[in-house]
Amino acid sequence: MKHTVSRDRRIALVFLLPAVVILFVTTIYPMLYALWLSFRSYDLSKPFIPRVFVGVANYVEVLSSPAFLHALLTTFKLMAMTLSVQVVLGVGIALLVTQKLPGMAVVRTLLLIPMMISPVIVGLVWLFLYFPELGYLNYFLSLVGIGPVAWITSTGWALTAIAIADIWQWTPFFMMGTAAALQSLSPEPYEAARIDGNSRFDVFRYITLPQLKPVIISLLFLRAIDAFKIYDIIFVLTKGGPADATEVISLYIYRQSFTFWRMGVGAAASFVSLIIITVFITFFFRSLQRSQAALAR
Amino acid sequence: MGIWNKSTIALGVAALMSSSVWAQDKPFAGVELKMLGIGDTSVTRVAPLVGEFEALTGIKVQIDQLPYPGLIDKIIVESSSDSPTYQLLWIDSPWVGLLGEAGALEDLTSRAKRDAAEIGLDDIVPIQLQENTWQGKLLAFPASGMTWLQQYRADLLENPDEQANFKKKYGYDLAPAKTWIQYRDIAEFFTRKKGDLAGGKPLENDLYGVSQSYSRVQGAITHDYFPFMRSFGGDYWDPKTGLCAMTGEPHIKAAEYMQSLIPFNPPDYLGLMWDIQSGFMERGEAAEAAYWSVRSVRLTNPEEAVLAKIGKAGFAANPESDAGPQPTYTGTLGFAVNAKSQDKEKDAAWEFIKWATSEKLMRRFADEGKGVSQFRKSILGDAKLQEKYPYYKVLLDSQVNARRRIFHPFYQAVEENFGVELSKYMAGETATAKEALTTACNAVNTQLQMFSVEQRLRWINDAPAEVLKK
């Protein structure tokens, strides 16, 4: 019996090994290497600079850099703009597409398309729309006597323009998750509410929304992590500009690593942002859980 | 020995003889080279002709054309690899210090000296060779020579009605600007709306007085700011410490001057990079632009610029500031050899550079009307070509007193920091030019201060190109 257990374990280990090796090579080793790098002076473009251990100097530089703090603030601003609209729109569209109407299955599928497109392509699509001189958006606005709007070349509009593109791409994510949740809700409370003569708004507010909350929170959790890392769309549309209007954390890290080639500083900035997003998400969800628990009481 | 055996031996001998002749004629036959290049005139003209070079030498060259933003990043990655993909590299002259100090580029000095007659070394405008040197070594060879010059709508500036109206408004004759104040007056005068008259014709689009680069992307704004700054009498570095010194009065004046041009630029001025900026001139939608001559040739070619069909481009040396005459601000786009290539590849790459930058090919480009911005005295000074390309004379004359562009191992830090900070100032996010320039300079100096003064002074001092020594 004992012999069989140890044999089973060995077989299990053999089956696990490829996954562990792949995980180590693709995730653990690069992460450890980046951590090691974050404590060193390492400039890829200047081999004459000694590549030595510098302690926490890179972390101090990042945390005391106004550009990093600005990028952090811009990231959170963008997250607030996109996530709030995506939740509202996503839930609203989900309520519409779960109605028992003809053709809804097709509509649902069509609405998912933006989410399936690569962010770089999304960036290019919106670049054609936003392009200052030749963009379609300004053309259509000009037909009704508006504009031209400097969508991606004015510091006042650029972040909003990025947010619109991100909302367009990721609202379907909320729509899909919420629609799935809506379809799995138990019909009994609705029947009881109908018998009691409640309005549709009350039904939504007191029955649907509380039941959807755990799903919405999970979706928010996933999107918040993703939104914090936003890079592709911004790189294609504005590259962090105009001025520093759309310079988010990922762009800051990119600039340190691949424009200044200061790999140590770039690695340190990556770890600082990892810690910040972990703390933020933990705090955010603990407070949501607390408010949920309070509501349940 | 049968007849077949004799024939076989005869054929073998003939084959050996012909291959030996082949080897003498084409010592690099079979070598394959790849070039990391830009999708602009200095490469696009030569790229379709690499088949001719292969027929001539047996060397196969493949040119990959990339946009300017990000190209230096790819070159740095390439040069840090021990087994490079690209043997030939396209280089913008400010990168020479950065790549030279890193040992990324092959020293071409001895090859250039050896082949001086063949490449017509004396025929090259000296500053264009100097642009490609680092610490006296020739690290790239000019493929396109540039100056920052004044381009304008000659058809508008020479229009009698416009001239009369201009004189009435400003009190002096309308002509290519001699001072930056005049340049701004002309920009203001020609800033007009769609439907207004310009040169007696109603405008189909808005006409902007001027188009300059204000985008931060790849430091595009610095490519205009630095020439302005030098024209206002400023310099990059403190000659005593080797640290960034771009916070003085000329530097501030130059930034403020650039800001004062904003009302006469296209409304999306913060997005103006080189190609977008020059596009306004090419479409005839800007009255003037102080811009690099690298694209001047397009303005005279109706296949590439609407302006050549609807109007006429004029060219002049750049105006002066209150600091008086300053040396012309130059630049060079060159071809270099990756130092990590194998020896035979390096020699084959040099053969390609000699061919691609030869007087014969450059003249052919000029004759065909699709030239690059030239760097050879014989071509720039050719009376017939000067008539065809009015900017040739401006290029030749203005380079008599010229000073090279920025060259420094920390060029990218300078370009990026000043790009962002100046762009913020132009967008009105930073209150004063002084504040923007100080922030940018401090960021550069934070990195430079880790090096000794001797080291920093060595970097900012321009050692003359050894190939120019007689």
- If you measure CA to CA, which chain B residue comes closest to A239? B217
CA-to-CA distance for B203 and B395, rounded, in angstroms?
31
The residue that leads in pLDDT, B452 or A241, is B452
Q: Please give the span between the terminal C-alpha atoms of chain B, in angstroms, as a whole number.
A: 63
Chain A residue with minimal CA distance to B414?
A: A260
Residues 6+ apart with CB under 8 A from A82: A163, A166, A167, A170, A227
B216 in contact with A at a CB cutoff of 8 Å?
Answer: yes
Closest Cβ opposite residue B271 in set A46, A153, A244: A153
Question: What residues of chain B lie within 8 A of the CB of A48, using their CB?
Answer: 101-102, 409
Q: How do residues B247-275 score in pLDDT, each as one tens digit?
A: 999 999 999 999 999 999 999 899 898 88
Model confidence pLDDT, tens digit, residues A112-162: 999 999 999 999 999 999 987 778 998 888 888 887 888 999 999 999 999
Map residue B259 onto helix, strand or coil: helix
Q: Which residues contact B34 (CB under 8 A, 6 or more apart)?
A: B61, B62, B63, B64, B85, B86, B87, B88
Rg (CA), chain A: 24
Question: Coil, helix or strand for B304?
Answer: coil
Task: Write the DSSP string, B106-138.
Answer: ---HHHHHHTHHHHTGGGB-HHHHHTTEETTEE
What is the gyration radius of the CA atoms in chain B, in angstroms?
A: 25
Pick A242's closest partner by Cβ from B98, B412, B427.
B427
Separation CA B122–CA B303 (nearest Å): 34
What's the full length of chain A, in residues? 297
8 Å CB contact between B457 and B238? no
Is A181 or B469 the better-scoring residue by pLDDT?
A: A181
Give Dmax (Cα) for chain B.
Answer: 102
Question: Among A134, A133, A125, A111, which Cα is nearest to A161's?
Answer: A125
Domain ranges of chain A: 56-296
In sequence order, the 6+-apart residues with CB closer than 8 A to the CB of A274 are none
A286: pLDDT strictly greater than 60: yes
Do A44 and B426 count as a contact with CB atoms less than 8 A apart?
no
Residue with tokens 């480009």: B365
If pLDDT is split at 50, 70 and 90, which confidence band does B225 have? very high
Rounded Cα gap, residues B304 and B221, in angstroms: 24
What are the tens digits of pLDDT across the range B74-87? 999 888 888 889 99
Reported as a pLDDT band with limits 50, 70 and 90, residue B244 is very high
Residues of B in contact with A67 (CB under 8 A): 420
Report the pLDDT value the prediction gives residue A296, as an integer from 0 to 100.
65
Residue B467 DSSP label: G
Q: Does B71 touch chain A (CB under 8 A)?
A: no
Residue A241 to residue B215, Cβ atoms within 8 A: yes
As for the ipTM of the complex, it is: 0.82
Nearest Cα of chain B lies from the Cα of A240 at a distance, in angstroms, of: 8
Tokens representing B286 are 């800007």
Contact B162, B118 (CB under 8 A): no
Question: Angle at which helices A119-130 and A158-183 pack, to 10 degrees?
Answer: 130
CB pair distance less than 8 Å for B412 and A259: yes
- List residues bridging with B328 in a β-sheet: B402
- Residue B322 Cα, gap to closest chain A Cα (Å): 29
Residue B276: both structure tokens together:
């977008």
Q: Does B308 touch chain A (CB under 8 A)?
A: no
Q: How many cross-chain Cβ pairs, A to B, lie less than 8 Å apart?
A: 84
Q: Domain B148-329 adopts which CATH fold?
A: D-Maltodextrin-Binding Protein; domain 2 (3.40.190)
* Three-state secondary structure of chain A: CHHHHHHHHHHHHHHHHHHHHHHHHHHHHHHHHHHHHCCECCECCCCCCCCCECCCHHHHHHHCCHHHHHHHHHHHHHHHHHHHHHHHHHHHHHHHHCCCCCCHHHHHHHHHHHHHCCHHHHHHHHHHHHCCCCCHHHHHHHHCCCCCCCCCCCCCCHHHHHHHHHHHHHHHHHHHHHHHHHHCCCCHHHHHHHHHCCCHHHHHHHHHHHHHHHHHHHHHHHHHHHHHCCCHHHHHHCCCCCCCCCCCHHHHHHHHHHCCCEHHHHHHHHHHHHHHHHHHHHHHHHHHHHHHHHHHC
Using CA coordinates, name the residue in chain B closest to A236. B217
pLDDT tens per residue, range A245-254: 999 999 999 9
With an 8 Å Cβ cutoff, is B435 touching chain A? no
Give CA angle at B458 (B252, B100), nearest 5°: 95
Is the CB of B102 inside 8 Å of chain A's CB atoms? yes
Pairing of the two strands B88-92 and B328-337: antiparallel
Q: Is the pLDDT of residue B336 over 90?
A: yes
> Quick one: pLDDT at residue B1?
46
- Max Cα–Cα distance, chain A, nearest Å: 84
Instruction: Give chain A's mean pLDDT.
Output: 90
Mean pLDDT on B43-70: 94
Q: Which residue would you say has higher pLDDT here, B351 or B300?
A: B351
Q: What are phi and psi of A12, to 5 degrees?
A: -60, -45
Comparing A9-13, B136-140, B370-374, the range with the smallest average pLDDT is B370-374
pLDDT band at B322 (very low <50, low <70, confident <90, very high): very high
Q: Which residue in A98, A128, A82 sits closest to A226, CA to CA?
A: A82
Sign of torsion over alpha carbons A201, A203, A207, A212: negative
**DSSP letter (8 states) at residue B248:** S
B residues 255-274 lying closer than 8 A (beta carbon) to A = 266-271
Distance CA A27, CA A35 (A): 12
Considering the entire predicted model, what is its pTM?
0.88
Spell out the domain ranges in chain B.
Answer: 30-146+331-394, 148-329
What would the two tokens of residue B125 be?
Answer: 């405008």
Answer yes or no: do A259 and B73 touch at CB < 8 A: yes
List the single residue in A148, A240, A244 with the smallest CB-CB distance to B267. A148
Residue B245 has pLDDT above 60, yes or no: yes
For the segment A64-85, the average pLDDT, to the nearest whole number, is: 96
Mean pLDDT calculated for residue range B40-69: 93
Count of CB atoms situated within 10 Å of the CB of B368: 10
> Which secondary-structure segment (H or E) carries B344?
helix B343-356
Q: Do A45 and B412 touch (CB under 8 A)?
A: yes
Mean pLDDT of the region A11-38: 93
For the domain spanning B30-146+331-394, the CATH number is 3.40.190.10
Q: Which residues of A touch B (CB under 8 A)?
A: 44-49, 67, 132-133, 148, 150, 152-155, 239-245, 255, 258-261
Q: DSSP per residue over B147-203, as a string?
A: EEEEEEEHHHHT-HHHHHHHHHHHSS---S-SBHHHHHHHHHHH-B-TTSEETTEE-
Helix (H) or strand (E) holding B212: none
pLDDT in tens, B21-38: 445 678 999 999 999 999
Contact residues on chain A for B429, CB-CB shorter than 8 A: 155, 243-244
- Tell me whether B204 touches chain A (CB under 8 Å): no
pLDDT exceeds cutoff 80 at B122: yes
Chain A residue whose CA is closest to B455: A48
Chain A residues inside the 8 Å CB shell of B271: 132, 150, 152-153, 241-242
pLDDT, average across residues A269-295: 84
Q: Which residues in chain B have Cβ-Cβ distances shorter than 8 Å to A47?
A: 80, 102-103
| B155 or A194, which is more confident | B155
B379 Cα to chain A: minimum distance (Å): 37
Whether B271 sits inside 8 A of A244 (CB atoms) is: no
What confidence score (pLDDT) does residue A104 get?
85
Q: How far is A19 from chain B (nearest CA, A)?
A: 30
Of the candidates B76, B271, B409, the beta carbon closest to that of A242 is on: B271
* Antiparallel, parallel or unpaired: β B286-292 and B32-38: unpaired
Which class for B305: exposed (0-12), middle (13-18), buried (19 or more C-beta within 10 A)? buried
Which of B270, B420, B435 would you mutate first to test chain A, the one with the most A CBs within 10 A?
Answer: B270
- Select the residue of B98, B215, B429 nearest A45 (Cβ to Cβ): B98
Residue keyed to tokens 């990168």? B95
Q: How far is B422 from chain A (nearest CA, A)?
A: 8
Is A147 or B461 the better-scoring residue by pLDDT?
B461
- Out of A150, A239, A244, name the one closest to residue B268 (CB): A150
Confidence band, pLDDT 50/70/90 cuts, at residue B169? very high
The span from the CA of B148 to the CA of B135, in Å, is 24
- Residue B92: left if φ>0, alpha if ψ -120 to 50, beta else—which one? beta
Confidence of residue A33 (pLDDT cuts 50, 70, 90): very high
* Secondary structure of residue B228 in the 3-state scheme: helix
Helix axes B220-231, B274-282, angle to 10 degrees: 70
pLDDT for residue B10 is more than 80 = no
On whether the CB atoms of residues B404 and B204 are closer than 8 A, the answer is no
Q: What pLDDT was estimated at residue B8?
A: 59
Query: Residue A198 has which token pair?
Result: 């409640």
Fold annotation for A56-296: MetI-like fold (1.10.3720)
3-state DSSP call for residue B244? strand
The angle subtended at Cα B382 by Cα B376 and Cα B385, nearest 5°, is 100
Stretch B199-205: mean pLDDT: 93
**pLDDT over 80 at B17, yes or no:** no
Secondary structure (DSSP) of B50-113: HHHHHHHHS-EEEEEEE-STTHHHHHHHHHT-SS-S-SEEEEETTHHHHHHHTT-B---HHHHH
